[in-house]
Copies of this chain bind each other. A is one copy, B any other.
Amino acid sequence: MGADRRTDILRAAARVIARRGVRGLRVSEVAAEAGISTALVYYHFKDRAGILHRTLEFISDRAERYTGGHPGQGSREDNPRQALERSLLLEFQDRPEVRENSTAWGELQATAVFDPELREALAGARLIWLRRLTDALGRIHPASPASARTLGAERLTATLEGLSTRWLSGLLRLEHARELMREAIAVEVAQLERRTAVAL
């Protein structure tokens, strides 16, 4: 019961953030969207910062779900390279849930520039994502230096977010964004190959 209600609130918060942004967002708006009282929102989450923190985790978990869990642990037929590609390309889908999730995530990232409170939450969610990608790159080239994987993963997340913002604001068509992302992965895998050859 408690967990369901909490999830309802987080789902409502993600929806509101995707619709109108996070700046100046009031707890009462989240409550109205969830169809409950503001007091009840405060009962479940200490304050506005607490809601934003948990919403970020909620969005991050949801993205992990629709991109098929950990990259590199996809369906049996996938090799590690295909699994990574499939997972990252699933961030670009013309489905309301995906658009909403990506919009809210991008907005929370952009807001962290102005809102130090958000940064700690963001740093945590980012680290989990980076680790998943670093692991996925390790499955593609197990002999690659760890530092090369980390740099590659860091760049893939930055590129993905840059492309995502352009797609969501209508500056890039979906298919073009996917093409750019697909090649970004190819380019980083090639770089990892070079770094592995040097290290061996």
Q: Which residues of A are in contact with B by a Cβ distance under 8 Å? A: 20-21, 23-24, 103, 106-107, 109-114, 116, 119, 122-123, 126, 151, 154-155, 157-163, 165-166, 168-172, 179-180, 183-184, 186-188, 190-191, 194
Contact = CB atoms under 8 A, between A and B. Distances in A.
A183 B147 CA distance: 13
Nearest to A99: B113
Contact of A113 (B151, B165, B183): B165
9 contacts: A23-B24, A107-B114, A109-B165, A110-B110, A113-B165, A122-B171, A155-B180, A158-B161, A161-B162
A151 B180 contact: yes
A130 to B, nearest CB: 10
Nearest to A184: B155
Contacts of A184: 155, 159
Overall SS of chain A's interface: helix
A158 B106 CA distance: 13
A176 B145 CA distance: 17
A110 B112 contact: no
A171 B126 contact: yes
A26 to B, nearest CB: 13
A180 B155 CA distance: 7
A179 B158 CA distance: 13
Given A23-B24, A110-B107, A171-B119, A158 B166 contact: yes
